[in-house]
């Protein structure tokens, strides 16, 4: 006869625990040449040995530790814990000139649209104070103007401050991204 306490001590065969899945997601966020154990020991202010015990599952991460790791690596715990397929997790990344430039912002839009496009059932809700930027990407001239305007006024990009609008100012990579976003 197997008691409940004996069952709880046995690892779940064929099922990976949430800590292992969580730490695998975190590992995807660091460069391959870096050690996750070293990073965790620094972030959590613990020894390397303690970090390895957490990585092997010998020590359970506390909720405070999970929060620190999620914040540091921008990992959504909601996405891992959700048991329903109709759950959506949102992430916001503000475009700026130092950390997340306009081109990276455009690439993130394309990546998100590709992910949505791959879903079997999809519905997109978009909320904005202005005409959705996607609508302008159908016209290269309108796209170029909107991109110029945003860079000059909202982002304050230095390379646009002393220039009047000229469609030739727009890098081909940005216009190509706009076209790909419109197509998706």
Joined together, the tokens standing for residue 5 give: 């306490």
CA atoms within 13 A on the CB side of 104: 9
Q: Give the integer Cα–Cα distance in Å for 13 and 9.
A: 12
Average pLDDT taken over every residue of the chain: 81
Bigger pLDDT: 131 vs 35: 35
Q: Give the integer Cα–Cα distance in Å for 48 and 59.
A: 13
pTM: 0.53
Domains of the chain: 4-81 (1.10.260.40), 102-183 (no CATH)
Say which residues have a Cβ less than 8 Å from residue 181's Cβ, sequence separation at least 6. Answer: 106, 109, 110, 113, 134, 137
Q: What is the pLDDT of residue 169?
A: 84
Q: Mean pLDDT over residues 11-25, rounded?
A: 72
Q: Mean pLDDT over residues 24-37, rounded?
A: 88
Per residue in 83-98, pLDDT (tens digit) is: 656 666 666 677 777 7
Say how many Å lie between the first and final Cα of the chain, rounded: 58
Residue 74 CB neighbour total at 10 angstroms: 10
Q: What is the pLDDT of residue 53?
A: 95
Per residue in 31-83, pLDDT (tens digit) is: 888 899 999 999 999 999 999 999 999 999 999 999 999 888 888 777 677 66
Tell me which long-range contacts 156-161 makes (C-beta under 8 A, separation of at least 24). 156/97, 157/97, 157/102, 158/97
């Amino acid at each position: 006869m197997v008691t409940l306490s004996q069952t709880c001590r046995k690892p779940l065969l064929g099922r990976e625990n949430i800590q292992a899945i969580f730490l695998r997601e975190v590992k995807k966020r660091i460069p391959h040449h870096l050690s996750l154990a070293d990073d965790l020991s620094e972030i959590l202010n613990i020894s390397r040995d303690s970090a390895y015990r957490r990585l092997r599952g010998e020590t359970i991460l506390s909720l405070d530790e999970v929060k620190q790791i999620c914040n540091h690596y921008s990992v959504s715990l909601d996405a891992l814990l959700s048991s329903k397929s109709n759950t959506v997790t949102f992430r916001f990344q503000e475009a700026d000139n130092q950390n997340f430039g306009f081109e990276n912002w455009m690439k993130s839009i394309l990546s998100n649209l590709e992910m949505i496009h791959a879903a079997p059932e999809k519905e997109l809700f978009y909320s904005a104070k202005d005409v959705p930027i996607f609508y302008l990407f159908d016209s290269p001239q309108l796209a170029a103007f909107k991109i110029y305007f945003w860079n000059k006024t909202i982002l304050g990009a230095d390379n646009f401050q002393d220039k009047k609008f000229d469609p030739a100012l727009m890098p081909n990579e940005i216009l190509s991204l706009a076209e790909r976003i419109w197509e998706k």
